[in-house]
Amino acid sequence: MHAETRILSPDTCEARTHAALQAAAQAGARGGIVRLREERALAQARAVDRDGARTQLASRLSGAPLAHKDMFFRAGELSECGSRILAGHRPAITATVLERLDNAGAIDLGALHMAEFAMSPTGFNAHLGHGRNAWSEAHVSGGSSSGSGIAVALGVVAGALGSDTGGSVRIPAAVNGVTGIKPTQDAISTFGVMPLSPSLDCVGVLARTAQDAAAMLQAIWNGDANDPRCLATGPRDFEGAVERPLDREDIIAVPDFGDDAPVSDELRAAVLRMADALAGCGATLRRVALPDLREAGALATLVLGAEAGSIHGTWLRERRADYGEQVLRRLERGLLYPATRYVDALRMRARCMTQFVERYLGDAQALLLPTLPCAVPTIDETLTGDASEIERRFGNFSYWTRGINYFGLPGVSVPVGKTANGMPAGVQIIGRAWSEDVLLRLAHQMQLHSDWHQPSLLARDHAG
């Protein structure tokens, strides 16, 4: 008996999802793909076709092809967190954020490349191989949400979830030329998400535009009975908020860069281009001193190390050989931090955040900072030298992002042109706690009047 042949209308979600799966399969590892979930994705698409017209599935995300960092658990599906430790792991729970995207009608195509246990800002993974930048395979992809940045930049998916503990959404967004938002600490449920450092972990979103990021953030934003740390108390209208034009009352703090600032001339110029673009949209610029993020970054490193060492303690004793060398060194160092230093770092956190906001934002709505200290490096450049030199370089790479996690503040990284090596340049918009609507509005209004985020800039349009 012959199997039934179905001819799908190109206008159906099922047909579009089938095409997206084919494109993702063709892109494979180059597109940031770890594994596809074809049957589930097509079943979701058929549900959208069947129910979308009469349910909440008729949303902006309805039928949107997404894929997510391989640390967001889906019951019964492989979730390996870029590691050898969790090879073959099939969780019994589904992450709250995945369930919420499902309810919005988004299609989950599968899992994306990530640094081992989310512990590399460059996208390095000793088991899966390096993340490869969407613009150039020789350059780093950024991490730890490497596949999320790659897949969105190459157009394999419309958006992706990532996690941000020290810059792991904003860095791959900047490196691959897309938009990435890290929300306020504990705003989004982390239930069903593999932890790294619960005091710093944030679920974030990567998308082509701030408008698309707003739609995804809106879908996952709400309280969660399964996550007592989640502080969101109800839904937010991020999509509506981004539409209001800027005016003189929108005050943006722009730092004065001294000669010894830990940022290259190219990235300094990118921040000033961003400032000029926002001023052109109607915002008022205000000069402020350049923040010194060394202490906040060191405190974030201490908190991350202590918490990650605790989470991995049993595996470190029983399965030490299954870690990559870089990750193993960082985890074992976390076991050496005195408890008093860890407690002091947490105790100082609120005061440090208040001082940062008062000094550098003042009466401004947002502060502009580089996302990276330099142009996107090649993979080889990040791996030269001994282990201590490589780790120092890793630390410098996240200088402008790591301290923001310690403060618990939201930030959006947006593409702002290119550097001389042809790679994207990203700039962060940092705001007060719970100001995600403001940051996305600033980013969206700028993107309405610029083309730095447009697909024509993608490497795939120029690569052979």
Q: What is the DSSP string of 75-121?
A: TTS---TTSSTTTT---SS--HHHHHHHHTT-EEEEEE---GGG--S
Contact 428, 413 (CB under 8 A): yes
Catalytic residue among 59, 83, 141, 144: 144
**Of 78, 101, 96, which is closest to residue 193 (Cα–Cα)?**
96
| β-strand pairing of 251-256 with 411-418 | unpaired
Residues 6 or more apart from 266 whose CB is under 8 A from it?
374, 375, 419, 420, 425
Measure the CA–CA gap between 167 and 181, rounded to whole angstroms. Answer: 10
Phi, psi of 162 (to 5 degrees): -140, 180
User: Would you call 144 a catalytic residue per the annotation?
Assistant: yes
Q: Please tell me the total number of residues recorded for the chain in this structure.
A: 464
User: Would you call 79 a catalytic residue per the annotation?
Assistant: no
Catalytic residue among 62, 163, 168, 189: 168
DSSP H or E run through 34: strand 33-36
Q: Classify residue 391 as exposed, middle or buried by CB count within 10 Å of its CB (0-12, 13-18, 19+).
A: middle
Phi, psi of 426 (to 5 degrees): -120, 150
User: Would you call 189 a catalytic residue per the annotation?
Assistant: no
Tokens linked to 341? 């230093």
Measure the CA–CA gap between 178 and 208, rounded to whole angstroms. Answer: 5
Catalytic residue among 62, 69, 182, 450: 69
Measure the CA–CA gap between 381 and 458, rounded to whole angstroms. Answer: 23
DSSP 3-state of 275: helix
Tokens linked to 193? 């998400």
Catalytic residues: 69, 144, 168
